[in-house]
Structure 1
Amino acid sequence: MTEARWLDEREARLWRSYRGLRVRLDGALWRRLVRDSGLSGPEFELLVPLSEAPGGLLRARDLGRLVGWERSRISHQVGRMEKRGLVVREECFEDARGSMVRLTEAGRAAIVAAAPSHVESVRSLFFDALTDDELTVLTAAFERVLAGLPKPED
């Protein structure tokens, strides 16, 4: 077994900052989202890719891959959203074991209504704190880290 490559003080500081940023930023964004639109964070997470998909339709497994969720979490969340009239499930004609998730008119109206205040929250809570140079550096760094991570599995 190889010896652990422990984080030095600078790396540990960055890692703690990143983890704190992720937790606090998501919490602040989701609280504002509920306050301004009535949508929960998980609802918004699924409505975005559905609203961008052709015909507002995606296979449930593809939707899960896009948001990085397990099959059971997608299933439960889609069920809750069906009850609210935001999405409907449909049969997958290519694979009887799979299902499709379609954005309803109510779901499209909800995401359209939520988007302006959400993007303003993203801007005010994240981008307004950064300089143009920091945006360039962070974009390059995040893209490089992402490129080295495993892709979501089928």
Structure 2
Amino acid sequence: MTARENGDDDGRAMGQELSLRVILFHEAVAAHLGLNATEHKVLSLIAREPGISPGQLVDRTGLSNPAITKIVHRLAELGHVDRRRDGSDGRRYALHVAEGHRRDLARLFAPMAEAMNGLVDGMDDVERAAVTRWLTGTIEILRRSTAELTRERESAAGRE
């Protein structure tokens, strides 16, 4: 018998609560930086992949070229992102997070990172393995679900 058949929706409820708290935390960080949530997440992608191009951001996010152009322009204008010309193709440019932004993020995330480290340090190996399995599975489910929703939206847009 599955957890759902037993009427146990704890996993679903915890997933929903985790999602809500992650979104609200990132909304607060974004607001602190003068950004909206989408701009903040695009900035996170740039931080994870220094040198990423705007075209790659379009691919990673599913946002349109004009939307990415607008976001990148705003991030650069606010001093969060540096645009550097591509050495092999002067028409293209690579995006990098500005050093000042890295310092701001480190300061904003430090209290949470310290608390999370304390939480993990208080777990034994079996608990860590269970949490890792749940989070890894959740991330993969979210990745697949996002891809499916994106495909459905693009398919519906193509029929219009």
Q: Structure 2 length normalisation: TM-score? A: 0.55
Q: Distance in 1 between matches of 2:99 and 2:139?
A: 34
Describe the superposition over 1:47-93 as per-residue Cα deviations: whole angstroms up to 9, x where unpaired. 4554454xx4222344566xx52233544432321121111334555
- 1:98-109 correspondence to structure 2 within 5 Å: 99-109=93-103
Correspondence for 1:27: 24
Correspondence for 2:61: 69
Q: How many residues align?
A: 135
Correspondence for 1:140: 133
Describe the superposition over 1:83-135 as per-residue Cα deviations: whole angstroms up to 9, x where unpaired. 21111334555596x653122233333334434234236x18x946x733332
Amino acid paired to 2:108: A
Q: Taking every aligned residue pair, what percent have the same amino acid on both sides?
A: 14
Task: Say whether 1:87 aligns with 2:78.
Answer: no
Q: Distance in 1 between matches of 2:57 and 2:90?
A: 15
Preserved contact between residue 30 and residue 40 of structure 2 (Cα < 8 Å): no
- In the alignment, structure 1 segments of 5+ residues that lack a partner are 1-6
Amino acid paired to 2:14: S
Q: Structure 1 length normalisation: TM-score? A: 0.56
Preserved contact between residue 29 and residue 118 of structure 1 (Cα < 8 Å): no
Amino acid paired to 1:105: E
CA RMSD of aligned residues (A): 4.0
Q: Distance in 2 between matches of 1:116 and 1:59?
A: 29
- 1:117-136 correspondence to structure 2 within 5 Å: 117-120=111-114, 123=116, 127=119, 131-132=123-124, 133-136=126-129
